[in-house]
């Protein structure tokens, strides 16, 4: 195995001089079969997860829930994933677990099965927690394997990996509109087949991962790594805080769409539930397209430029959206999703370069924080919608992308 592959496992803790001396002059090409397998499994994983918010209108009516209770479901799901992902990533930096990927999908399968038969609100919360736990196990290790399979094209690998998740998130509302809404809560059980397919794919990815781990000395796999020598520890801490602030602005604003966009369209424009799900699919499809663009552009022109443009560039569209007709609302949702989503692959690879040897921790921290901010945003925005109305929520959230100005303080990395 090359040193480049070792680095992608989070092995940069070896002395910098040793890494430089042994590094190949040119990285090998990406392991496309593995990346596509990760992308497909990410699609299936996030398809399962996206069914939960896609069911909100149905659950709200069937269980007589208010917006605050809807927000609590999202908070439990995303809060569980948020709190556990950094711990999972930190542990697997020292002890990689190739088959934990399939195990995480198994927990999501259990949560999905419970969701299909949940008789009461408490069972809905338990199902959300199981799905969140599956996500916490899946994302950090899958992100590590994507870097291992990148062949040095880290942004491209993260984009391929993440676009699968975005595609699954986009498909969830569409499938809910045409399967679950007409046939009810019990039809969710059919989607257990998607989770089973994900377990099979991740079992194959886990075998590939295990073969590579077998060729890495245990002392190297146990290496904890060091912080980047180019920046002081204090500067690295501040930079990580800025990146997390950018994640906050992105996912708080995204929560207004993923959890409440259908309610906004129904309340303001009188759109039928099924059509509102289709419009949500349009937005989430734009998010998927933006994700696949962000990584390669970052590889070519630099992460900082992509981060800067992808977050702050949303502001003109977000400010206009609460004041336009239904037609223009749907049209504006496309550039909002496209531009905003391009940030995440660049942010993640930027953080991996900032913290060499902490690939799992970076994946867990940033995916976990993203989930946590999405969950917290859903809970707070739900309470706000109950008190001031769903339309006012979009008026206030329109200013969140302005926090992208923090990107000006990011140091330039190679």
Q: What is the pLDDT of residue 229?
A: 52
| Chain segment 156-195, per-residue pLDDT in tens | 888 888 888 877 877 877 787 788 778 878 888 888 998 9
Q: What is the mean pLDDT of residues 337-343?
A: 84
**Alpha-carbon gap, residue 359 to 240, rounded angstroms:** 14
Position 7 confidence tier, pLDDT thresholds 50, 70, 90: very low
Question: What is each CA distance from 174 to 60, 109, 184, 231, 311, in whole angstroms?
Answer: 18, 20, 15, 46, 26
197 vs 78 pLDDT, higher one: 197
Closest by Cα among 287, 411, 267 to 351:
411
302 has a pLDDT exceeding 50: yes
Instruction: Spell out the domain ranges in the chain.
Output: 30-409
67 vs 120 pLDDT, higher one: 120
Closest by Cα among 335, 353, 237 to 299:
353
| Chain segment 257-292, per-residue pLDDT in tens | 878 898 899 999 999 988 988 898 899 888 878 877
Q: What is the mean pLDDT of residues 26-37?
A: 72
The superfamily (CATH) of domain 30-409 is: MFS general substrate transporter like domains (1.20.1250.20)
pTM over 0.75: no
What does the block give as tokens for 39?
């992308």
21 has a pLDDT exceeding 60: no
**Alpha-carbon gap, residue 167 to 161, rounded angstroms:** 11
Question: What is each CA distance from 99 to 7, 160, 205, 310, in whole angstroms?
Answer: 20, 21, 8, 34
389 has a pLDDT exceeding 90: no
CB atoms near residue 372 (< 10 Å): 22
Position 330 confidence tier, pLDDT thresholds 50, 70, 90: very high
**Alpha-carbon gap, residue 168 to 44, rounded angstroms:** 6
5 has a pLDDT exceeding 50: no
**Alpha-carbon gap, residue 237 to 243, rounded angstroms:** 10
Q: Is 267 exposed, middle or buried (0-12, 13-18, 19+ CB in 10 A)?
A: middle
């Amino acid at each position: 195995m090359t040193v480049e592959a070792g680095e992608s496992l989070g092995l940069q803790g070896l002395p910098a001089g040793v890494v430089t001396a042994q590094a190949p002059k040119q990285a090998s090409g990406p392991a496309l079969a593995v990346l596509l397998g990760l992308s497909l499994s990410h699609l299936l994983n996030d398809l399962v997860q996206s069914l939960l918010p896609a069911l909100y209108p149905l659950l709200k009516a069937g269980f007589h829930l208010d917006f605050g209770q809807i927000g609590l479901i999202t908070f439990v799901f995303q809060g569980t994933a948020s709190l556990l992902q950094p711990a999972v990533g930190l542990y697997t930096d020292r002890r990689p677990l190739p088959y934990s990927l399939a195990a995480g999908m198994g927990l999501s399968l259990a949560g999905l099965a419970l969701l299909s038969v949940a008789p009461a609100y408490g069972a809905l919360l338990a199902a959300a927690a199981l799905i969140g736990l599956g996500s916490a196990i899946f994302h950090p290790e899958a992100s590590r394997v994507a870097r291992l399979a990148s062949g040095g094209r880290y942004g491209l690998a993260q984009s391929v990996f993440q676009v699968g998740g975005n595609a699954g998130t986009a498909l969830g509302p569409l499938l809910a509109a045409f399967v679950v809404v007409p046939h009810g809560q019990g039809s969710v059980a059919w989607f257990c087949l998607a989770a089973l397919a994900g377990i099979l794919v991740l079992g194959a990815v886990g075998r590939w991962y295990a073969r590579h781990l077998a060729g890495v000395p245990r002392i190297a796999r146990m290496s904890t790594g060091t912080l980047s020598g180019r920046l002081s520890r204090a500067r690295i801490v501040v930079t990580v805080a800025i990146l997390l602030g950018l994640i906050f602005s992105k996912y708080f604003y995204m929560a207004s769409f993923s959890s409440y966009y259908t309610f906004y369209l129904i309340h303001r424009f009188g759109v039928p539930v099924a059509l509102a799900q289709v419009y949500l699919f349009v937005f989430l499809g734009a998010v998927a397209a933006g994700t696949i663009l962000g990584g390669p552009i970052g590889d070519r022109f630099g992460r900082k430029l992509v981060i800067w443009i992808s977050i702050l560039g949303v502001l003109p569209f977000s400010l206009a959206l609460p004041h336009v007709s239904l037609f223009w609302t749907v049209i504006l949702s496309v550039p909002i999703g496209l531009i905003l989503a391009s940030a995440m692959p660049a942010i993640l690879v930027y953080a991996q370069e900032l913290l060499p040897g902490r690939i799992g921790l970076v994946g867990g921290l940033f995916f976990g924080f993203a989930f946590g901010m999405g969950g917290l945003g859903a809970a707070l925005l739900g309470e706000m919608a109950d008190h001031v109305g769903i339309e006012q929520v979009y008026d206030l959230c329109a200013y969140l992308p302005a926090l992208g100005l923090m990107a000006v303080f990011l140091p330039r990395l190679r």
